[in-house]
Structure 1
């Protein structure tokens, strides 16, 4: 996972669900770049849409904690010979 995606996941895991607009503003990421990164993270099963928080129907994104834990375990197992 690259730094930008890691920042997105960290924000969602630590602060809770957020809209794409909230993520873009807080992380200073362009909407186009954020859309690309959300697509990659969503395809990997790391983040998902949980609903619309307001009348304007903007999707609300959250992280899937069990998937994150599994990814960390895989990375730890891979790097364990060098630790």
Structure 2
């Protein structure tokens, strides 16, 4: 139950973009070039949100609550930024 509370508290925007990306990706599929571009953007938004959501969930399950202090906070943020960049580049 704590995991659900923490996901809603810290990753509310990712959950919203996860659902929005899923809806956009499958609403605009196979309707022409403009719709295909919108669908592609929705899929990438869906994948990036899902990656952040799943990474946090598995980290919480394996390690528990981590208080990021000092330089580790920036390293973690950079790692998440790289993951999202790779998804948008190759996803």
| TM-score (normalised: structure 2) | 0.29
Q: Which protein has the larger Cα radius of gyration, Structure 1 or Structure 2?
A: 2
Greater helix proportion? 2
| TM-score (normalised: structure 1) | 0.31
Greater strand proportion? 1
